[in-house]
Amino acid sequence: MKNREMQLLWELGRTGSVTKAADRVAMSQPAASALIRTLEERLGFPLFVREKRRLTFTAKGRALLPEIANILAAQDSLNRLASTLRTDATPRVVIGSVASVAATILPSGVERLCRSLPGAAVSVRTAMSMEIANMVAEQRVDFGVVVDEAGPDGPGRLQVAPLHLCCLVAPTHAFSALKTVTVEDLATHKYVALARQFKIGAATANLFESAGHGFAPAVEVMQFSTACAFVSAGWGVGILDSLSAKYAANFGLATVPVEGEISLGVALLWSPDSSLGAHASDFADGLTAAFG
């Protein structure tokens, strides 16, 4: 698949509009439509269906998007490397981060990192932990900040901080006056939680099921910020990790620790072959300090 074809498909996935996608890749709308038809003929299966004047990916078409994203990101990394190899180029640090870190402690951590890299520009890409680990392994990012099983430091890895579960409530809720809440307390209330496919969601489900309760959120979400919004709107108490709970203050929510240990933490990853690894300790220290 040619680069222009991949760029067009990616923009179509973002916009759902041939006109907007064509504009983003500097093509005319007729040329973009013709390119899609030619690509579908060459691939031998339809990529889109039209619904209410918008293009929607077929299942086969959508299955291409993760690999297209990887290829485009790799091309961007290659271009970035070529740029930084120029003697007059500004160094650029690319960081992959889970969203909860990016929205809370990452800015302070990056500030500490950039003290040892004066003048460096920074790019941040948010993704799930598994994808970020792959990005680091393939050197598509310089550093990765993930939520992972707590473990010892080692080559290409530093532990930033352990995590525990927190309950998010309105300041007027009875839980806000407690030092901790138990799973039995939570089981008697409607609650908002992350889905099981996320590490924190799986840890939450395990906490309930280990205590003999079913995991049955009133609202199951894919983003920590969405959980905060639903709790703020009165859909129930929220159950998130102690890092995501830092974001809850933006919604005026109180946080109370949930009793029970989870074996998860925030970790900093990098390729042992990377020259930027010499700055990993500064970066990790900045993240840990921001975590508090």
CATH number, domain at 247?
A: 3.40.190.10
CA 40 to the chain's CA centroid: 31
37-92 pLDDT, tens digit per residue, is: 888 888 888 888 877 667 788 888 888 888 888 888 888 777 776 766 655 556 78
- Do 131 and 272 sit in the same domain of this protein? yes
Please state, in angstroms and rounded to a whole number, the distance separating the CA atoms of residues 23 and 14.
Answer: 13
- Do 89 and 123 sit in the same domain of this protein? yes
- Do 114 and 228 sit in the same domain of this protein? no
- What is the extent of the structural domain holding 224? 165-261
Please state, in angstroms and rounded to a whole number, the distance separating the CA atoms of residues 43 and 45.
Answer: 6
Of all residues in the chain, the percent with pLDDT exceeding 90 is 53
Please, what is the average pLDDT of the chain? 89
Q: Return the CA Rg of the chain.
A: 22
Please state, in angstroms and rounded to a whole number, the distance separating the CA atoms of residues 237 and 240.
Answer: 10
Point out the least confidently predicted range of 25-29, 163-167, 214-218: 25-29
- Do 54 and 136 sit in the same domain of this protein? no
What does the pLDDT read at residue 279? 93
- Do 190 and 212 sit in the same domain of this protein? yes
- Do 158 and 276 sit in the same domain of this protein? yes
Among 112-121, 125-134, 160-169, top mean pLDDT goes to: 160-169
- Do 170 and 245 sit in the same domain of this protein? yes
What does the pLDDT read at residue 85? 61
Q: Is the pLDDT of residue 240 over 60?
A: yes
73 within some domain: no
- Do 105 and 189 sit in the same domain of this protein? no
Q: Is the pLDDT of residue 144 over 90?
A: yes
What does the pLDDT read at residue 261? 87
What does the pLDDT read at residue 97? 96
Nearest alpha-carbon partner for 21 in 55, 71, 64, 72 = 55
- Do 45 and 105 sit in the same domain of this protein? no
Q: Is the pLDDT of residue 133 over 60?
A: yes
Q: How many domains does the chain have?
A: 3
> What CATH number does the domain containing 19 carry?
1.10.10.10
Please state, in angstroms and rounded to a whole number, the distance separating the CA atoms of residues 83 and 69.
Answer: 21
For the segment 100-117, the average pLDDT, to the nearest whole number, is 93
- Do 19 and 52 sit in the same domain of this protein? yes
Please state, in angstroms and rounded to a whole number, the distance separating the CA atoms of residues 137 and 42.
Answer: 33
- Do 243 and 170 sit in the same domain of this protein? yes
Tokens of 31: 């040329």
Please identify which residue in the block is written with the tokens 């049955």: 216
What does the pLDDT read at residue 194? 95
